[in-house]
Structure 1
């Protein structure tokens, strides 16, 4: 990988372009464990953290992990290339040209309002920040925290409104919720999609963390809103399953079954890094592999909650055996 010192621009462009296309650095991605990253990138790194957080730096590249307690495994948070540390800056126009020629063009998202332009490759869940004045690439990260579409648009409603609506909705029965939505939802399709996502975010923030009597009511409301987001086109089947698994909104066995059912390809046919080049003509297969990886990792989190069906557990383990080779 490029070093912080003088570096040929073409080498840095190729490195950052590869990261944006694949979401990986040297084969390691945001789901890789610390041991897996060491095996792929070596032991020449600096590391800091405590029992619950861990940050590792390979020159310009950083990996971050977290865990709930010292007894839990490390879960990846992000991998990030700090391109601003390069002595020879990479210009976003040069990088965009490189990716366009490769068949993986960047898409510009709304600026952050703080002097940065933002670009994404949504299939690989990578994002890029560039200096608004100089055009120099500042960092590339995966998974990205910004993007295009309703989920990343600036809310048109206040936090207080979201909290008030969520508190009102959780007290209604299913029929009353539907009638409330008919009266309240915006008329335009685009605005309606933003509104449903806004309500889902407001509701997720209200779900109690512990297993108390209130959690079931909020979980049911969240499931209803996830369904509405699917209908509005804000979430697809994979993303809806990830929302449900991430919030542990259903029992473990049911959640795992849902995740496995949402995987769009069989284990026998799934594209892997060993079999499928990162090329535009393979993008459908690549994205199915990425969906399989995300869903199997979501199912893994449910195994920790306690899955009773041995067949479900075995199928998740079989997918996890493929994880390191999935795209």
Structure 2
């Protein structure tokens, strides 16, 4: 088994889920798996986010009388550079052990390739060029955001070029197609 946090990242990129919870799952299901120790933010009555430190889940709905519909979740890997142990909740720590403060993209990519799980680079949105690079796993629809270059404001949280900034799912094939068309 791959040690520590690498196993978590490999699982998320390979499956598009975290401990079996996917981006479309309900708030109740996420709470059953990850626990209730999160901060919850609502934006009006149509959007909600639960922040578990390392991971954030997002939902939306058409109106206040409708149920929440899962939108996406993001592993905010860059937050680990703060070396705050409380960012990784007990459930994740029990499953995966210690999480390192940084994740090198090259290492993640090599381990995924050994498993037959390719990551394809997709064009970055213009506001993020050249500071970030995005890689996509088409089967799981997971996007990996990587620090692309250093600059005065381009390396948040003291990350280095080649460090993973975040892992998010889903990134739909239509978005990838749109990014590629826009990039020419």
TM-score, normalised on structure 1? 0.42
Deviation at 1:110, TM superposition (A): 2.4
Matched, 1:129 2:123: no
Which segment is superposed worse, 112-121 or 63-72?
Answer: 112-121
Q: Is the 8 A contact 1:31 1:75 kept in 2?
A: yes
Q: Tell me: CA distance 1:139–1:70, structure 2 relative to 1, closer, same or farther (3 Å).
A: same
Any idea what SS the aligned residue of 1:62 has?
strand
In the TM superposition, what is the alpha-carbon distance from 1:107 to its structure 2 partner?
1.4
Query: Residue 138 of structure 1 aligns with which residue?
Result: 165
Matching of residues 243-322 of structure 1 within 5 Å: none
Any idea what the Cα deviations from partners look like across 1:178-209, whole Å, max 9, x if unmatched?
Answer: xxxxxxxxxxxxxxxx9xxxxxxxxxxxxxxx
User: In structure 1, how many angstroms separate the alpha carbons of the residues matched to 2:139 and 2:173?
Assistant: 13
> Could you tell me which residue of structure 2 aligns to residue 70 of structure 1?
64
**Structure 2: runs of 5 or more not aligned:** 82-100, 150-160
Equivalences for residues 93-108 of structure 1 within 5 A: 93-108=106-121
Between 1 and 2, higher relative CO (CA 8 Å, sep ≥ 6) is seen in: 2
Cα deviation for residue 40 of structure 1 reads 1.4
Which of 146, 155, 161 aligns to 2:182? It is 155
**Which SS does the other structure have where 1:155 is aligned?**
helix
Structure 1 pair 28–149 and aligned structure 2 pair: CA distance change class (3 A): closer
Q: In structure 1, the residue corresponding to 2:58 is in which secondary structure?
A: strand
Higher helix share: 1
Compute the displacement of 1:149 (Å): 6.2
Query: Quick check: 1:122–1:147 contact (8 Å CA) kept in 2?
Result: no
After superposition, residues 1-327 of structure 1 pair within 5 angstroms as: 10-49=3-42, 50-87=44-81, 88-112=101-125, 113-133=129-149, 134-144=161-171, 150-155=177-182
Question: Highest CA radius of gyration, 1 or 2?
Answer: 1
Give the TM-score taking structure 2 as reference length.
0.73
User: Is contact 1:65-1:78 (8 Å) kept?
Assistant: yes
- The number of residue pairs the alignment matches comes to 149
Q: Point out the structure with the larger strand share.
A: 2
> Within 1, Cα distance between the matches of 2:163 and 2:142?
17
Where does structure 1 lack aligned partners over 5 or more consecutive residues? 1-8, 157-193, 195-327
Give the 4+ runs in structure 1 shifted more than 6 A: 146-149
Considering only aligned residues, what root-mean-square deviation do their CA atoms show, in Å? 2.3
